[in-house]
Amino acid sequence: MWNSEELRRAGELLRAGRLVAFPTETVYGLGANALDAEAVDRIFAAKGRPATSPLIVHVDSVEMAKSLVLEWPEAADKLAARFWPGPLTLVLRKQAVIPDRVTAGLDSVGLRMPAHPVALALIREAGIPLAAPSANRFTQLSPTTAAHVRTALGDAVDLILDGGPCTVGIESTVLALTGGMPQLLRPGMVTQAQIEEVIGPVVILTSTSKGVHTSPGLHPQHYQPKTPLVLGPPSDQGRGAYLWWKEPRNSARSVEMPAAPSAYAAILYDILHELDKEGWDYIAVEPVPPSAEWAGIRDRLSRAAK
């Protein structure tokens, strides 16, 4: 686990343009100085991430967030008051201080204040906003423990702060506030209904451009274990694992998942990492409910199955 000396060292590394992996409540992030284009380049190289996929910038306060954007609309104020710190990313028009490398050339940037004491302490120690996608290889399964990061990235990271398992377990909800009606770009555990309770109607992104993505996590194939993942019952072909929450089926490896979406999300990636290590022919997953509370989980599973 992390200690104060490691935190001090992590802050030094980040100010020097190096990479530090750190825990958030969602997944572990691969952090670099968001104001340093060369440092951000190291993130893309370590992950094998295409330049068309923008990064989320992590802040420790609303004041830091405001310093990075051209305007801070009333909707952002209301949402930050309700959901920050927490798993909601707000996309706003950026100041020139944010390099285009961070935003894939877009004039907007995704900002989030994480709800994890280590993440917040690290940003304060470093004294800079941190660009931080998930600390894994691009399109692969996201890490929710420090061990997952070591396995995925190894020596590509200068330091890993171990803050224990992530509690939310899937990536943040992403909402654009860049003009017109607010647009939900990526679902997560902060739901559309919860957002609409605060700011009124929200539209949902219905298609993804083949060029620059408007949000992280929109690549058609994403969040994938190495083992082929299929949505549906176990197959008679080969030996597989089956994740179910309602109806168990005969399979070589049966994993009962929680029936509550928050509990399901919290352990999903960790279970998939474990099954990957066990060497099954496939992982079958019982489809989750169609309700809005499960939207983020459905999105991750559907991209993992492509």
Domain segments of the chain: what residues? 4-204, 229-304
Is the pLDDT assigned to residue 206 strictly greater than 80? no
Tens digit of pLDDT for each residue in 2-59? 788 999 999 999 999 999 999 999 999 999 999 999 999 999 999 999 998 999 999 9
Task: Select from 9, 3, 51 the least CA-distant residue to 158.
Answer: 9
What's the pLDDT score for residue 306?
75
What's the pLDDT score for residue 218?
66
Residue with the larger pLDDT of the pair 144 and 1: 144
What's the pLDDT score for residue 89?
98
CA distance 48 to 293: 32
Peptide bond between residue 85 and the one before it cis (omega within 30 degrees of 0): yes
Please report, for residues 65, 83, 86, 91, 207, the alpha-carbon distance to residue 197 in angstroms, rounded to integers and kept in the order given.
Answer: 23, 12, 17, 19, 25
Is the pLDDT assigned to residue 253 strictly greater than 80? yes
Structure tokens at 270: 């960790």
E strand intervals along the chain? 20-22, 29-33, 56-58, 88-93, 108-112, 130-131, 159-160, 173-176, 183-186, 203-204, 229-231, 240-244, 253-256, 282-285
| Beta bridge mates, 184 | 175, 204
Residue with the larger pLDDT of the pair 137 and 209: 137
pTM listed for this prediction: 0.94
CA distance 106 to 213: 9
The pLDDT confidence band at residue 137, using thresholds 50, 70 and 90, is very high
What's the pLDDT score for residue 139?
87
User: For the residues 68-78, what does the mean pLDDT come to?
Assistant: 97
Is the pLDDT assigned to residue 209 strictly greater than 60? no
Is the pLDDT assigned to residue 217 strictly greater than 70? no
What's the pLDDT score for residue 205?
81
Tens digit of pLDDT for each residue in 254-301? 999 999 999 999 999 999 999 999 999 999 999 999 999 999 999 999
Mean pLDDT of the chain: 94
What's the pLDDT score for residue 180?
87
The pLDDT confidence band at residue 304, using thresholds 50, 70 and 90, is very high
What's the pLDDT score for residue 179?
85
Fold of 4-204: DHBP synthase (3.90.870)
What's the pLDDT score for residue 208?
60
Percent of the chain predicted with pLDDT > 90: 89
- Amino acid (one-letter) located at 12: E
Minimum mean pLDDT among 177-181, 197-201, 211-215, 272-276: which range? Answer: 211-215
Tens digit of pLDDT for each residue in 224-236? 999 999 999 999 8
The DSSP result for 143-182, as a single string, is: PSSHHHHHHHHGGG-SEE----S-SS-SPPEEEE-SSSS-
